[in-house]
Amino acid sequence: MRSKKTPLTLGFDIGGTNLRGAVVDANGNILDSAQIPTPSSEDHMERGIVHVANKLRRSWDVKACGLAIAGFIDPDLETVSYGPHVPWRNAPVRARLEEQLHMPVRIEHDANSAAWGEYRFGAAMQSRVWVLFAIGTGIGATLMVDGEIYRGAFGVAPEFGHLVVVPGGRPCSCGKSGCLERYCSGTALEDTAREVIGCAQFEDSELARTYYDEPEKLTGRVIMAAAKRGDPAAVAVVNNFAMWLGHGLSIVSDVLDPELIVIAGGVADEAALYLDKAQDAYASSIVGAGYRKVARLKTAELGSSAGMIGVSDLARSVVQ
C-alpha cells in the first residue's frame, strides 16, 4: 500500500447510469478512480459502494469516504430521505456505510458537493455569496454564504429549478406546472425543439429532419451541436434556453444578490452558445437594471468530477 503525507479520501458520485468513486488528495487532485453501473436495489447499492471503495483502498491509504447523492438528505447529514437515482428511503446511510467500510463517512447532496468542489478548487474560490446552477435533466442548485452551504430549516433549500416562471405552463415531475427547469434544462431543450420545428419557417431545418427521421435522437446534445453548426431551428431553441436562464437567474439575484453564479452540468460544456445571451437577459431583468452591480456568470471548472472532489474534501474534515 502506498503511503501519502496528506490525508487522502474517497469521493463517490452516484448518478443515474454509473456509480463512480475516486481517491482525492488535499489539493483536489484525483489520483485514482473506478466505477460500476449504478445498482438498483438498496442492498446492492451499499455492496457496490463497498466494492469500489475496497478496490481503491488496495492501493491507497484513505482516511474517510464521502458520497454525493441526488435527492433529499436530512439536515443531520445522516439519513437519505429520497433520491431519484438511489433506492434509499429514509435510510440511515451514513451509519450503515461507516459500519461496512470501517471509516468515517460524509454524505451530501450532489449539487452541494459540486459547489464545495468549485469553492475550494475551482470557479468560486474566494467568493463570499454565490450560487451554483447545475443544469442537466433538471436543475440542481446550491447557495453558499461566507464559506458555508445554506440548507434551509429542513435541508431542502434551494430548489431554484422549481420556481414557477410560467403559471399553468409545462407540467413538471414535481407536481407543479411552469417550473423553471421545464424551460431551462436538457429536457427543456428537447421540448422547446419539438415546438420550434412545428413552425413553417423551420420545416426544412436540420433539427426538423432529425426529428422526423429519428425522433429519439432529438437530444440536448444533438440540439447544441446543430446550433454550433448554425442550424436556425437549433439556434432559436438555444436562444430561448438562454432567455429563460437569464430570467431565472434574475429572480434568484433579486432575492439573494449574489456576486457570482456558476453554471455547471452537461450544458456548461456548450456555454459559448448561450452564456452571453443569458447574461444580457439576466442583467436586463433584475430589479434596478442599469443602476446596480450584477453577478458575474461563469462556467464551472471541475466538470463532471466536481461532486467527487467536493464531497471527498468535505469527508476530509471528519478526520482532521
Q: What is the dihedral of CA 300, 302, 303, 307, to 10 degrees?
A: -100
Q: Is residue 222 part of a domain?
A: yes
Domains held by the chain: number: 2
Question: Is 80 exceeded by the pLDDT of residue 320?
Answer: no
**Helical H runs in the chain?**
42-57, 93-101, 110-121, 186-196, 206-213, 220-228, 232-256, 275-285, 306-319
Q: Evaluate the omega torsion of the peptide bond into residue 158 and state whether it is cis, within 30 degrees of 0.
A: yes
Number of H helices, E strands in the chain: 9, 12
Tell me the pLDDT band of 3, cut-offs 50, 70 and 90: very low
Pairing state of beta strands 105-109 and 72-73? unpaired
Task: Tell me the pLDDT tens digit for each residue of 248-276.
Answer: 999 999 999 999 999 998 888 899 999 99
Q: Is residue 195 part of a domain?
A: yes
Query: What is the residue range of 65's domain?
Result: 9-117+305-318
Q: How high is the pLDDT of residue 173?
A: 86
Q: How high is the pLDDT of residue 202?
A: 87
* Percentage above 90 pLDDT, the chain: 72
Asked whether the beta carbons of 134 and 264 are under 8 A apart, the reply is yes
Q: What is the mean pLDDT of residues 31-37?
A: 96
Q: Is residue 3 part of a domain?
A: no
| Residue with cell string 474534515 | 317
Asked whether the beta carbons of 12 and 21 are under 8 A apart, the reply is yes
Q: What is the mean pLDDT of residues 109-114?
A: 94
The C-alpha cell that represents 274 in the structure block: 448561450
Task: Tell me the pLDDT tens digit for each residue of 181-210.
Answer: 999 999 999 999 999 988 878 888 988 888
Same domain, 290 and 261: yes
Q: What is the mean pLDDT of residues 91-95?
A: 94
Question: Is 90 exceeded by the pLDDT of residue 64?
Answer: yes
Same domain, 166 and 312: no
The C-alpha cell that represents 245 in the structure block: 436562464
Tell me how far apart the alpha carbons of residues 204 and 197 are, in angstroms, rounded to a whole number. Answer: 9
Q: How high is the pLDDT of residue 279?
A: 93
Same domain, 151 and 209: yes
Same domain, 75 and 222: no
Q: How high is the pLDDT of residue 5?
A: 61
Same domain, 58 and 192: no
Average pLDDT for the chain? 92
Q: What is the mean pLDDT of residues 236-247?
A: 96
Q: How high is the pLDDT of residue 2?
A: 47
Q: Is residue 179 part of a domain?
A: yes
Same domain, 74 and 109: yes
Q: What is the mean pLDDT of residues 241-248?
A: 96
301, amino acid identity: E
Same domain, 135 and 283: yes
Same domain, 248 and 296: yes
CATH number at residue 101: 3.30.420.40
